[in-house]
Amino acid sequence: MGDAASSVERRDRRPASGEGELIVDRTLSVASYRVRDLVAGDATRWEDGALHVDLAGVERAADELPGLRSMTAAIVQPGESTRIASVLDVVEPTVKPANPRTTFSGHLGTLGVAGVGVSNRLDGMAVVSTIGPAEQLDRVEGLIDMGGPGAPLSYWSRTCNLVLSFDADPAATLAEVDRSIRIATLTVARDLAATTVDHAPDESESLELGPADGGDLPSLCVVMQVASEGPGVDTLIYGAPVIGIMPVVMDAREILDGAIVSGAYDHASVRNPTYFYQRSRLLRELIAGHGSRWWLKGVVVTLGYLNGGFEKQRAAVLAAKLAAQLGAQGAVLTTFSSGNSHTDTMLTCRACEELGVRTAVLIVESNGGLTDFVPEADCIVSVGNEDELIEGWHPDRTVGGRDPRVAPADDDAPVPLRDYLGANCQLGDMPIGVEES
Amino acid sequence: MVGANRVLRGVSITHPTGDPALSVGDELELRRRMVDRALNMLSTPVESRTVWEAEG
Amino acid sequence: MTVVHYINQFFAGMGGEEKADTPPFRLDGATGPGRGLGLEVATTIGCGDDYFAEHEDEALSALLAWLEEARPSVLVCGPAFGSGRYGYACGVVAREAAHRGIPAVTAMHQDNPGVLAADGAPYVIPTGTSVTSMRETLPKMAELAGKLSRAEAVGGPDEEGYLPRHVRRNTIRDEPGASRAIDLLLRKLAGDVRTEAKPPGDFVAPPPPIADPAAATIALVTEAGCVPQGNPDHLPSRRSFTWLRYSLDGVTSLSADRYETVHGGFDTAAANQDPNRLVPLDAARELERDGRIGRLHDFFYTTSGVNTPVAVAAKMGQEIAEELVSSGVQAVILTGT
């Protein structure tokens, strides 16, 4: 019997970069390339602030994917009299140059830890996925207005947009259609950003979160609510839907770096499009103030729309427990969509306060005000009233799926704010509030 | 729950007065207990919004 | 100044309940209470209260088309006092006019579901519950209507005598919600607690308890969309503006082969296996048989409570309650999802 240790073959394993990378440097470096112009061209390339896109080439991204009959690509610029309709998701083009297959980790071929290493992004540009009439999905309102009264309420009225219009195969399942649209959209977003590799960025930032303690600074965390109820109403983390998960702690930079992707297509104004995870103002600000104004202890991700009183209460207690275990004195709570998730938010607020974690809650109102309430929710940020009607508009052009079950995109009737994608997103990226009159 | 004064916590959104995990007999028994508790609530004075649990 | 006045079948002199199914009508000049406004009413439009409740889209379509033709400087609706259906119609018509740029005034009791239906868009003057307050109400409506039609500034609720509108209007702020949340959280940690939203104040004082369930008639009501198999009366799955009533005579259990749910807001598989999981009839019958409940009411009441406007829910609740009270029911077990 020899020495067990010596009989073990020791290997110094240096994994290929990006795959199981040893995390010695927990910094996320973001290289931003500002998009001045988006033009159709013969080849997809980056040239001094202009992204040239081979639209026919882009359209081939969906060719091998099941459940789709076609995908068309169109450019929509700020200032146009254009409405983008039936929007499913909006994605900021980004790529991890060291291993592009780990971009949007879990979706495009390889799993890597998000939030570390270098990521390039096209700043001022968005890839917008839309769907034509589809048996598999309930009405998809999702509007982005580039002009007219809805423009100030549409975040992407000021970005250069590449709009992908998908046509689903009626014989396919929703899961198939949903997955294929997502893969195609994320692939296009990644490949467009990939044109920047080897070019000099306009801005380079280093997002660092050093050791979090000491001094008089308050310790803060985020409790971020997502929802996962099946295809079409899902949130995906590291490539898989998170239905049934217990609350979990993530590093804010993972979320900024494509770890969370939206798979939810209902209630346009109040859900979280992928773009708002990637560019989250909340996470960006908290990271920026870490070490100078506060300590950011982490992000607790939790589910809303849980189906029973016990499940709701359990999730609330477990999320609050994680916030407390992180050492947070205060937490910003975000909400996903409307209706019964507001009960999840309020229960989570109460559970946090009961454990001594003070809360500020981001939530949307309706014409009737708050949907649910607990006395502990004494510090609420209202991201707007989703019921308010926005004047009807006749755009010169409508791009994106035309679902006949939705009122025609160019009719005169006022549109509830709820139909404008991201207008009342409860991650807090929009400068919308409420005044009482 | 906003505004209702006497609230009995149901089992689940999808089956407020039932539980598929129980046997038929146990489920009816649960339902009897819930209705019985509801009757107690209706004959109890309350000052403001009050939530009771189905059991305990 | 062009004034249009909205009334119902009764105030138009067409008849009472028996004429409540009158479709939308239009008359030249002032009719009924319109004559007491002291304003030059160019046109009177109206609708039977039942017709409006059961065909809201069609009724609105006709009424709004007439309003569009007349393009008045102000619309006056009612007064409806405590009349729930009339008040609801007044609230809706006034709201829709206001949304289309026609200033509107209506008047009704503050608990009338029409107040919620108005959604803060028109001005609602509070009144007593009965028509006896007509004389003091008409001049108030006329004064506010005059100001609106002349595009004069309207003061606050206390000053001008209308109900607070609680309109939660969107506004573009200097900072995004995220920044405001961080700011408010830091303030709170420092002891300065502020909020941008407060809970709604629509609370109803709890009624006193029933003396003894063994001597009471109890009714079962649900928003879980429970209906007879095949949904013979077409209860909508979402955004229902109607409620239905079904006889429980001889029924001891809501069996899966005779009942189902059409609610569009939750996964109905478990409920359809056994609808008693939504409306606990089998258990209630046993307790009735055992003498714990005096009597179960002969009917159960149902609607689908998803995407329902608050005002509509309030109206349905009021209507069901009126029926229950006049049937001698003392308490309700209401199930929700």
Q: Determine whether the interchain pair A380/C185 forms a contact, defined as Cβ–Cβ distance below 8 Å.
A: no
Q: Determine whether the interchain pair B14/C284 forms a contact, defined as Cβ–Cβ distance below 8 Å.
A: no
B38 contacts in chain C (CB < 8 Å):
333
At C25, give phi and psi (nearest 5°). -135, 160
At residue A404 the predicted structure's pLDDT band, cuts being 50, 70 and 90, is: low
Asked, for residue A432, whether it belongs to a domain, the answer is: yes
At residue C125 the predicted structure's pLDDT band, cuts being 50, 70 and 90, is: very high
Give the residue numbers spanning the domain of C295.
213-335
Same domain, A213 and A195: no
Same domain, C141 and C16: yes
Number of domains in chain C: 2
Instruction: Select from A185, A207, A229 the last residue of a domain.
Output: A207
- Nearest CA of chain A to the CA of B13: how many Å? 5
Q: Of A178-182, B47-51, C230-234, where does mean pLDDT reach its minimum?
A: B47-51
Residue A12: its pLDDT value, please? 42
Report the run of H or E that residue C5 belongs to, with start and end.
Answer: strand C3-8
Asked, for residue A253, whether it belongs to a domain, the answer is: yes
Count, in order, helices (H) and strands (E) of chain C: 10, 13
Same domain, C17 and C148: yes
Q: Determine whether the interchain pair A308/B11 forms a contact, defined as Cβ–Cβ distance below 8 Å.
A: yes
ipTM of the complex: 0.94
Q: Of A17-21, A120-124, A383-387, A410-414, where does mean pLDDT reach its minimum?
A: A17-21
Q: Of A149-163, B33-47, C152-166, where does mean pLDDT reach its minimum?
A: C152-166
- Nearest CA of chain B to the CA of A307: how many Å? 5
Same domain, A158 and A295: no
Residue C111: its pLDDT value, please? 87
Residue A212: its pLDDT value, please? 73
Interval C253-293: pLDDT, tens: 999 999 999 998 788 999 999 999 999 999 999 999 999 99
* Gap between the Cα atoms of C181 and A282, Å rounded: 9
**Which of B31, B48, B49 is the closest to C276 by Cβ?**
B31
A144-145 and A240-241 as β-strands: parallel, antiparallel, unpaired? Answer: unpaired
Asked, for residue C186, whether it belongs to a domain, the answer is: no
**Which of B17, B32, B46 is the closest to C286 by Cβ?**
B32
Same domain, A282 and A147: no
Cα A204 from chain centroid? 22
Interval A63-86: pLDDT, tens: 999 999 999 999 999 999 999 999
A432-436 and C168-172 as β-strands: parallel, antiparallel, unpaired? Answer: antiparallel
Q: Which residues contact A113 (CB under 8 A, 6 or more apart)?
A: A21, A23, A105, A254
At residue C224 the predicted structure's pLDDT band, cuts being 50, 70 and 90, is: very high
- What is the mean predicted confidence (pLDDT) over C35-59? 95
Residue A410: its pLDDT value, please? 53
Contact A129/A164 with Cβ under 8 angstroms?
yes
At residue A409 the predicted structure's pLDDT band, cuts being 50, 70 and 90, is: low
Contact C17/C48 with Cβ under 8 angstroms?
no
Cα distances from A173 to residues A66, A135, A400, C163, in angstroms, run 10, 9, 21, 52
Q: Is A313 at the interface with chain B, CB within 8 A?
A: no
Instruction: Select from A191, A207, A223 the last residue of a domain.
Output: A207
Same domain, C115 and C241: no
Spell out which chain B residues touch chain A, with contact meaning CB-CB distance below 8 angstroms. 1-2, 9-14
At residue B12 the predicted structure's pLDDT band, cuts being 50, 70 and 90, is: confident
Residue C203: its pLDDT value, please? 67
State yes or no: pLDDT of A207 exceeds 60. Answer: yes
Residue A6: its pLDDT value, please? 40
At residue B49 the predicted structure's pLDDT band, cuts being 50, 70 and 90, is: confident
Residue position matching structure tokens 């993972």: A254
Asked, for residue A336, whether it belongs to a domain, the answer is: yes
Burial class (CB in 10 A: 0-12, 13-18, 19+), A5: exposed
- How is chain B split into domains, by residue range? 20-47
C25-28 and C41-47 as β-strands: parallel, antiparallel, unpaired? Answer: antiparallel
Q: Determine whether the interchain pair B34/C280 forms a contact, defined as Cβ–Cβ distance below 8 Å.
A: yes
High-pLDDT (> 90) share of chain C, %: 81
**A242-268 burial, b for 16+ CB within 10 Å, e for fewer?**
beebebeebbbbbbbbbbbbbbbbbbb
At residue A411 the predicted structure's pLDDT band, cuts being 50, 70 and 90, is: low
Q: Determine whether the interchain pair B43/C279 forms a contact, defined as Cβ–Cβ distance below 8 Å.
A: no
State yes or no: pLDDT of C130 exceeds 60. Answer: yes
Give the residue numbers spanning the domain of A384.
209-393+414-437
Same domain, A339 and A378: yes
Q: Determine whether the interchain pair B13/A343 forms a contact, defined as Cβ–Cβ distance below 8 Å.
A: no
At residue C211 the predicted structure's pLDDT band, cuts being 50, 70 and 90, is: very high
In angstroms and rounded to an integer, the radius of gyration of the C-alpha atoms of chain B is 12
Report pTM. 0.73
Q: Determine whether the interchain pair C200/A426 forms a contact, defined as Cβ–Cβ distance below 8 Å.
A: no
Cα distances from A129 to residues A81, A87, C282, in angstroms, run 19, 6, 50
Same domain, A274 and A171: no
The CATH number for C90's domain is 3.40.50
State yes or no: pLDDT of A4 exceeds 60. Answer: no
Test mutation, C96, C169, C175, C185, chain A, max A CBs within 10 A: C185
- What is the mean predicted confidence (pLDDT) over B38-48? 88
At residue B47 the predicted structure's pLDDT band, cuts being 50, 70 and 90, is: confident
Q: Determine whether the interchain pair B1/A372 forms a contact, defined as Cβ–Cβ distance below 8 Å.
A: yes
* Residue A66 neighbours by CB distance under 10 Å: 11
High-pLDDT (> 70) share of chain A, %: 92
Cα distances from C293 to residues A125, B36, C219, in angstroms, run 66, 9, 11
- What is the mean predicted confidence (pLDDT) over C26-41? 95
Instruction: Select from C118, C135, C160 the last residue of a domain.
Output: C160
- Nearest CA of chain B to the CA of A370: how many Å? 9
Q: List strand residue ranges (DSSP E) for A193-345, in order.
A: 203-207, 219-226, 233-237, 240-241, 248-250, 260-264, 295-303, 330-333
Number of domains in chain A: 2
Instruction: Select from A207, A228, A245 the last residue of a domain.
Output: A207
Same domain, A196 and A292: no
* Residue A239 neighbours by CB distance under 10 Å: 16
Residue C239: its pLDDT value, please? 78
At residue B1 the predicted structure's pLDDT band, cuts being 50, 70 and 90, is: very low
Same domain, A71 and A155: yes
Give me the amino acid identity at A4: A
Residue position matching structure tokens 């010596």: A6
* Gap between the Cα atoms of C110 and C231, Å rounded: 36
Same domain, C18 and C155: yes
Query: Which structure tokens are listed for A272?
Result: 């979280």
Residue A52: its pLDDT value, please? 98
Same domain, C279 and C133: no
Q: Which of C84, C206, C119, C279 is closest to B3 using CA atoms?
A: C206
Interval A295-340: pLDDT, tens: 999 999 999 999 888 899 999 999 999 999 999 999 999 999 998 8
Asked, for residue C315, whether it belongs to a domain, the answer is: yes
Query: Which structure tokens are listed for A21?
Result: 């990378």
Mean pLDDT rounded to a whole number for chain A:
91
Asked, for residue A370, whether it belongs to a domain, the answer is: yes
At residue A10 the predicted structure's pLDDT band, cuts being 50, 70 and 90, is: very low
Asked, for residue A331, whether it belongs to a domain, the answer is: yes
Query: Which structure tokens are listed for B20?
Result: 């598929």
Same domain, A215 and A143: no
Among all residues of chain A, which has the CA nearest to that of B19? A308
Same domain, C24 and C142: yes
Asked, for residue C7, whether it belongs to a domain, the answer is: yes
Q: Is C197 at the interface with chain B, CB within 8 A?
A: no
Asked, for residue C87, whether it belongs to a domain, the answer is: yes
Instruction: Select from C99, C125, C160 the last residue of a domain.
Output: C160
Q: Is C201 at the interface with chain B, CB within 8 A?
A: no
